[in-house]
Amino acid sequence: MDKFAFQARVYRFFWNSVDWLFPPECIGCGKEGVLICSDCWHGMVRASLNSCIFCGVQLPKRGVCGRCEHLPHAIDELRYVAAYQDVMRTAIHRLKYERDLGIAIELANLLAQIVQATNWQIDLIMPVPLSEKRKAQRGYNQAALLAYPLSLQLHLPENTQGLVRVHETRSQVNLNFQERQENVQGAFSADPTIVKGKTILLVDDVFTTGATINAAAAALREAGCTRVYALTAAKALRRQVTIENTPAIDV
């Protein structure tokens, strides 16, 4: 048994024991026994393959939308689970503001299914990092809560040292597309000794405009990374980007 298989087995055993002692309830409807029941899962606005590979907007077939074909992109492709609304919104809030590890595992399972359905050949999984100040305030990085169980599921190494946020940025809430791009420009730095020649899977909770993920991917590219794929649990609908007081899309 390899290291990942052993760690994954221990991790599953621990959380199965927790579920046995404290049976979960569906975060959408309260049904006992699961965190997201099948009815609530099927009620989500789930991602379609017929979408833009860079922003996830719906298209007649998978490709590049008219907006993205005129923009620079550091990522090679984006995938996500579902739209940031209803049950998924609740899940993201519990992950981000309540450090709900059970939700992290549930979402990581869904993320793993997406990766397994692709032909991505990944070397490292990396969570999009928070600044040290924000991480100290929150006590954790919600993207890392997703990346660790995902790495166990996929039997791939996770790395949290090769990409760091070097500049404190202001909140992205209420910023328009251009302001978000400018806000995170140069915010990240990557270590060439870790990422050079590698294919990286960047993991985050929510994809809004793509400014943060593309800035992180640009730093990886500058450090010699070969390819960068982006994977998030949720994608904010374009109209949500301008909604005020929406903390779960504050990246």
Give residue-wise pLDDT tens across range 7-63: 656 556 444 555 545 578 899 998 988 889 999 998 999 998 899 999 999 999 999
Give residue-wise pLDDT tens across range 11-26: 564 445 555 455 788 9
| Sheet with strand 77-83: strands edge to edge | 77-83, 227-235, 199-207, 124-127
Q: For residue 11, give both structure tokens.
A: 């991790």
> What residues are paired with 129 via a beta bridge?
none
pLDDT in the model for residue 241: 46
Are 40 and 87 in contact, with CB atoms under 8 Å apart?
Answer: yes
pLDDT in the model for residue 170: 53
Q: DSSP alpha helices (H): ranges in the chain?
A: 3-21, 38-43, 86-98, 101-116, 132-138, 142-154, 177-184, 192-195, 211-222
In sequence order, which residues have a C-beta less than 8 Å from that of residue 143 and are 6 or more positions away?
127, 128, 129, 130, 203, 204, 205
Distance CA 189, CA 165 (A): 6
How many other β-carbons are positioned within 10 Å of the β-carbon of residue 224? 15
pLDDT in the model for residue 135: 86
pLDDT in the model for residue 201: 98
pLDDT in the model for residue 251: 29
From first to last of its 251 residues, the chain has per-residue pLDDT tens of: 566 656 656 556 444 555 545 578 899 998 988 889 999 998 999 998 899 999 999 999 999 999 999 998 999 999 999 999 999 999 999 999 999 998 999 999 999 999 999 999 999 999 999 988 888 888 999 999 999 999 999 999 999 999 998 876 655 555 555 655 655 667 899 999 999 999 999 999 999 888 899 999 999 999 999 999 999 999 997 654 433 333 333 32
Q: For residue 148, give both structure tokens.
A: 């660790």
In sequence order, which residues have a C-beta less than 8 Å from that of residue 33 and are 6 or more positions away?
23, 24, 25
Mean pLDDT, rounded, of the chain: 84
How many other β-carbons are positioned within 10 Å of the β-carbon of residue 203? 27
Under DSSP, is residue 124 helix (H, G, I), strand (E, B) or coil? strand
Q: Is 155 left (phi over 0), alpha (psi -120 to 50) or beta?
A: left
* Number of domain units in the chain: 1
Distance CA 161, CA 145 (A): 15
pLDDT in the model for residue 250: 31
Name the burial class of residue 90, with classes exposed (0-12), middle (13-18) and buried (19+) by CB atoms within 10 angstroms of its CB: middle
Domain region containing 231: 3-249
Place of tokens 């907007």: 57
CATH number, domain of 163, equals 3.40.50.2020
Instruction: Please report, for residues 88, 143, 159, 248, the alpha-carbon distance to residue 43 in angstroms, rounded to integers and kept in the order given.
Output: 10, 24, 34, 20
pLDDT in the model for residue 187: 81
pLDDT in the model for residue 108: 95
